[in-house]
């Protein structure tokens, strides 16, 4: 009996040790998990919002419900609980993730959008004050009085805007195919149509129900300073129908007419036909002005500045401005109201389903000293 009692006591002691080991392992695993979470939070930028648990999953669920429920099947019963709906204004506001994809596509394929200043607004009535002259400044000694400075002057601009729309269509068979990536396809189709329409408006837009293009703005041969606000300076080619015998000198004049601060982020803008002519130009020593990109993905350069190809720029011809040069980030303001709206239309073009998408977009020259034009003119 005494032997059995000793055995039971020994087994109990081993059991206690085993339970202690298991508890230590569980506690160690818990501490490791806490350390991982703590390190993630410590690596987050100071002042940044902490990520909410499940926020990415919620966005994915919202997008999937919108794509599968509304775009594929046409069900909008659960839509109002997920997104802001306004069918009377032409559709439902798309989820943030889908809207982000459309914006990314646009930025990659819309030439002026890629180099202009973009402002997101919650209203179409956006206004901006532009400083025409800064507050006066000067030098004084340490103990001298500080004279009153002059007041700055401002000009207000309100970029004209309009509803940019696209209307891609798909067959019902495509929508019924579960493997078909409707979200990516739709974002690409909408962005392509948006890019074609806004590309023309940012350059040649009339300002009536659409942006005011920079080539539609007033122009003058006057230099910066005496030239009135909102008027772009042009440099004539010296020939009424094309380039004269020294086109390289006029291009250099364009570069040097721009203020040093604007030249640091300047780009050339022209279409493919003008590029074909410019690529053949040589300086006085016989060297080509055009410099091809040496690294894959890097832009071609003219006189050291990148060239942006924009199909809506005019061809070389009398009284046209086929070449623009400037800091468009400072020179052209693009406004867009947050959110793209989509209206599913299975009735107008049966058996196809149309997706009528709209976005409110505006634009106008912001700083007329930041953009220069080359004009085909004798003077």
Percentage with pLDDT > 90 across the chain: 52
CA angle, 77 as apex, 74 and 79 as ends, to 5°?
Answer: 80
Backbone angles phi, psi at 124, to 5 degrees: -80, -15
Q: Is the distance from CB of 356 to CB of 348 less than 8 angstroms?
A: no
Q: Name the class of domain 58-132+152-210+337-365.
A: alpha beta
Q: What is the pLDDT of residues 294-321, one digit of tens each?
A: 676 788 999 999 999 999 999 999 999 9
Q: Name the class of domain 219-333+370-375.
A: alpha beta
Cα–Cα distance, 326 to 264 (Å, whole number): 9
Q: Please tell me the predicted confidence (pLDDT) of residue 189.
A: 94
pLDDT tier, 291 (very low <50, low <70, confident <90, very high otherwise): confident
Residue 361 burial by Cβ neighbours in a 10 Å radius (0-12, 13-18, 19+): buried
User: Is residue 41 predicted with pLDDT exceeding 50?
Assistant: no
Q: What is the pLDDT of residues 80-127, one digit of tens each?
A: 544 445 554 567 888 888 888 999 999 999 999 999 999 998 877 788
Segments making up each domain of the chain, as ranges: 58-132+152-210+337-365, 219-333+370-375
User: Is residue 187 predicted with pLDDT exceeding 90?
Assistant: yes
Q: Please tell me the predicted confidence (pLDDT) of residue 10.
A: 45
Q: Quote the tokens at residue 145.
A: 């009085």
Task: Give the number of other Cβ atoms within 10 Å of residue 148's Cβ.
Answer: 7
pLDDT tier, 325 (very low <50, low <70, confident <90, very high otherwise): very high
Residues sharing a CB contact under 8 Å with residue 122, sequence separation 6 or more, in sequence order? 337, 338
* DSSP codes of every residue in 177-206: -TTS-HHHHHHHHHHHHHHHHHHHHHHH-B
Count helices and strands in the chain by DSSP H and E runs:
10, 18
* DSSP codes of every residue in 334-378: EEEES--EEEEESSTTTTEEEEEEEEEEEEEES-TTSEEEEE-S-
Higher-confidence position of 9 and 365: 365
pLDDT tier, 19 (very low <50, low <70, confident <90, very high otherwise): low
Q: What is the pLDDT of residues 200-241, one digit of tens each?
A: 999 999 999 999 999 999 999 999 988 999 999 999 999 999
Question: Which run of H or of E encompasses 59?
Answer: helix 55-64
Q: Please tell me the predicted confidence (pLDDT) of residue 147.
A: 79
Residues sharing a CB contact under 8 Å with residue 107, sequence separation 6 or more, in sequence order? 113, 114
Q: What is the pLDDT of residues 253-275, one digit of tens each?
A: 999 999 999 999 999 999 999 99
pLDDT tier, 66 (very low <50, low <70, confident <90, very high otherwise): confident
Higher-confidence position of 258 and 68: 258
Q: Is the distance from CB of 227 to CB of 291 less than 8 angstroms?
A: no
What is the average pLDDT score of the chain?
83
Q: Which residues pair with 129 in a beta bridge?
A: 156
């Amino acid at each position: 009996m005494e032997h059995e009692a000793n055995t039971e006591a020994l087994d109990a002691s081993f059991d206690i040790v085993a339970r202690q080991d298991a508890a230590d392992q569980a506690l160690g695993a818990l501490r490791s998990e806490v350390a991982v979470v703590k390190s993630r939070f410590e690596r987050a930028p100071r002042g940044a919002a902490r990520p909410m648990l499940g926020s990415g999953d919620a966005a994915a669920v919202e997008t999937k419900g919108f794509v599968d429920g509304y775009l594929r099947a046409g069900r909008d019963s659960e839509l109002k609980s997920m997104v802001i709906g306004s069918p009377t204004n032409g559709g439902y506001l798309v989820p943030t993730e889908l809207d982000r994809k459309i914006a990314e596509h646009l930025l990659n394929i819309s030439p002026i959008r890629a180099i202009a200043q973009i402002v997101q607004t919650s209203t179409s009535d956006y206004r901006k004050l532009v400083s025409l002259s800064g507050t006066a400044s000067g030098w004084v000694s340490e103990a001298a009085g500080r004279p009153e400075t002059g007041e700055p002057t401002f000009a207000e601009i309100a970029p004209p805007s309009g509803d940019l729309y696209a209307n891609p269509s798909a067959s019902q068979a495509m929508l019924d195919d579960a493997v078909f990536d409707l979200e990516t396809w739709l974002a690409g189709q909408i962005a392509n149509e948006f890019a074609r329409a806004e590309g023309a408006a940012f350059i040649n837009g009339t300002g009536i129900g659409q942006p005011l293009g920079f080539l539609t703005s007033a122009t003058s041969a006057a230099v910066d300073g005496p030239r009135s606000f909102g008027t772009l300076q042009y440099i004539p080619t010296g020939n009424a129908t094309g380039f004269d015998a020294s086109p390289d000198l006029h291009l250099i004049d364009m570069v040097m007419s721009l203020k040093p601060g604007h030249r640091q982020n300047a780009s050339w803008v022209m279409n493919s036909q003008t590029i074909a002519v410019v690529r053949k130009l040589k300086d006085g020593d016989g060297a080509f002005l055009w410099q091809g990109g040496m690294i894959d993905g890097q832009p071609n350069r003219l006189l050291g500045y990148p060239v942006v190809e924009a199909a809506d720029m005019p061809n070389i011809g009398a009284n046209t401005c086929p070449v623009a040069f400037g800091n468009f980030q400072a020179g052209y303001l693009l406004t867009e109201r947050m959110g793209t709206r989509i209206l599913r239309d299975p009735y107008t073009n049966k058996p196809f389903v149309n997706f009528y998408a709209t976005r409110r977009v505006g634009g106008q020259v912001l700083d007329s000293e930041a953009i220069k034009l080359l004009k085909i003119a004798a003077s």
